[in-house]
Amino acid sequence: MDSANNNLARIEDVTLAFGERVVLRNCSLDIVEGAITCIIGLTGAGKSTILRLLDGLLLPDSGHIYVHGEDICHISEEHLNVVRRRISLSFQFSALLDSLTVGENVALPLQERTRLSEAEIRRLVMDSLESVGLADAYDNLPAELSGGMLKRAGFARAIVTEPELILYDEPTTGLDPIVTNLITDTILKLREKLKGTAVVISHDLPSIFAMADYVAMLFEGAIIAYDTAERIRNSHNPIVEQFLRGSEVGPIPI
């Protein structure tokens, strides 16, 4: 599959270890511009680590991380902060500040990164909340929201700066099937609204195949399969087949 000519980002031959534990080893992955790329793999495989590399929160021990062709591993912290303004990370547990209202939480990136007036910030915050179906939650505290509403409030904060790339870390974890479908639909709608690019880490296979343009499987520190969602669904790679079946029988050690 040739997607090299329209990549927004690329991880190239990355190795990263935490102490003696090697998380990624010669790992490479293309992030196609305008597409939703989902990363699948076993728990603890290093999927969330990939998101933090793309956002510049971690640097690899070796290899390269490219965003729009620029290697963010070899730029100044000041320049990296400029690149980060085009990227948003939606955390697994939303990471809202309990003492602030939903509207105040969503406004934080604008207050930190722009010189917009309070009126303009409020307008952008309301637009973001409306985009995720939370227009009436502006003055609520996080504790007053359900799990699904908290996820969507986190999405609103992630999109309020209109980033080119949104990184979603386990957006459907702990949610019932109805809310999972709502979250999946919201991610698709936000991609259309922003005309942007998304990377999603998830274990929820129905959600993945409902939203993904591309799917990558991370196994033992490397991407061992990467293709369109339909081709991955029909893959003959025995590791991918076993994972998608959820079977105890196969090359993946249990």
Domain ranges of the chain: 1-86+165-254, 93-162
DSSP state string for the chain? ---GGGEEEEEEEEEEEETTEEEEEEEEEEEETTSEEEEEE-TTSSHHHHHHHHTTSS--SEEEEEETTEEGGGS-HHHHHHHHTTEEEE-TT----TTS-HHHHHHHHHHHH----HHHHHHHHHHHHHHTT-GGGTT--GGGS-HHHHHHHHHHHHHTT--SEEEEESTTTT--HHHHHHHHHHHHHHHHHHT-EEEEE-S-HHHHHHH-SEEEEEETTEEEEEEEHHHHHT---HHHHHHHHT-SSSSS--
Q: What's the pTM?
A: 0.91
CATH T-level assignment (fold) for domain 1-86+165-254: Rossmann fold (3.40.50)
- The one-digit pLDDT tens for each residue of the chain (254 residues) are 444 558 999 999 999 999 999 999 999 999 999 999 999 999 989 999 999 999 999 999 999 999 988 999 989 889 988 888 899 999 877 789 999 999 999 999 999 888 889 999 999 999 999 999 999 999 999 999 998 899 999 999 999 999 999 999 999 988 889 999 999 999 999 999 889 999 999 999 999 999 999 999 999 999 999 999 999 999 999 999 999 999 999 899 87
Q: What is the pLDDT of residues 15-69, one digit of tens each?
A: 999 999 999 999 999 999 999 999 999 998 999 999 999 999 999 999 999 998 8
Amino acid residing at 37:
T
